[in-house]
Structure 1
């Protein structure tokens, strides 16, 4: 199966790299980082080519990340219909105060694409959104191309999947701890 994917991507050329990146950025569940990794293996780019490819991949990713951003932007008024306007405004203020850098920081993780919806709903400045998206995806693109060039694609893919599982598990534990603190500890201190 792995060889068939390699052959297909090799036949696609650079268009396959950009299409895979565009799909992931558009919030389609697609392993864009793995595609970048495979292209690093297939193309074996030197340092300058790696940087140029990473710039191109980051630009494509940034452009297509506006798809979920615009959807979130348009859905903001629908959210006010479903939830109280006070809750929607509180969420938007919280995202603006603490969350704008989450646009960049979440890009290497699997949840980065979905932050685009929250950024759109929070009416984050479109230029700031694009800049933070580019800042977040560029290092990942460089790393994936470089690691792919090393040739251990299967090993790197396994490590990426395992680390993402640990990160998501850690985030889940953190969420549970925060909820416990909010509902258990705060209720005891309020009594």
Structure 2
């Protein structure tokens, strides 16, 4: 299976940056494989770093939209029945659903930094009919730093780009902590602002 995925990515390379977008649009191809490989192409001089990051971020945004649409229009019964064709297991759907129930719409952003939840969090967002523009913005903003990290380490590791996912994984917990602090600060600020406005009336 892994070799098939690598062959697909190599095939899409001929389409340059658009190929990167396409590779990430297909959700069954892990970003953890695509992006470090793109970093290796940057290392070889076949692509510009920042254009590759932009293409990766766009692809990392359009891909989740397909799962969002499945959740929005199909709902859980359709996903359970046909999810296997998208390499989606029912227990994975349940895990993402539980995460959404616990943390709400903000998981469209925070969930991108959580292994095991990152890909499938789009499904409960769609099932909850979350605003598509808000979902897209949250996803894009979250995917930018992740894409940058994966491509950067893929580039730095060169021929050993396969190790990039493990290296990025070491940074994931600190990144998640920073993300939670930022998100928490925003919520506190909004809450205090709303309370002050109410008290002034």
Q: Structure 1-normalised TM-score? A: 0.60
Quote the RMSD (CA, aligned, Å). 3.9
Select the structure of larger CA radius of gyration: 1
List gaps (5 residues or longer) in structure 1.
Answer: 80-91, 167-191
Q: CA deviation at 1:125?
A: 0.6
**Structure 1 residues 132 and 53, CA gap change in structure 2 (3 angstroms):** same
Aligned: 1:103 with 2:108: yes
- Per-residue Cα deviation, 1:135-188 (whole angstroms, up to 9, x for no partner): 111111111111111024133244457888x9xxxxxxxxxxxxxxxxxxxxxx
| Moved >3 Å (runs of 4+) | 5-8, 75-79, 94-97, 157-164
Q: Structure 2-normalised TM-score? A: 0.57
Aligned: 1:116 with 2:128: no
Cross-structure match for 1:128: 134
- Measured in 1, the distance between the counterparts of 2:164 and 2:52 equals 19
Number of equivalent positions: 146
List gaps (5 residues or longer) in structure 2.
Answer: 79-96, 174-201
Q: CA deviation at 1:17?
A: 2.2
> Secondary structure of the residue that 2:26 maps to in structure 1?
helix
Aligned: 1:145 with 2:151: yes
**Structure 1 residues 45 and 126, CA gap change in structure 2 (3 angstroms):** farther
Greater alpha carbon shift after TM alignment, 67-76 vs 121-130: 67-76
**Structure 1 residues 7 and 61, CA gap change in structure 2 (3 angstroms):** closer
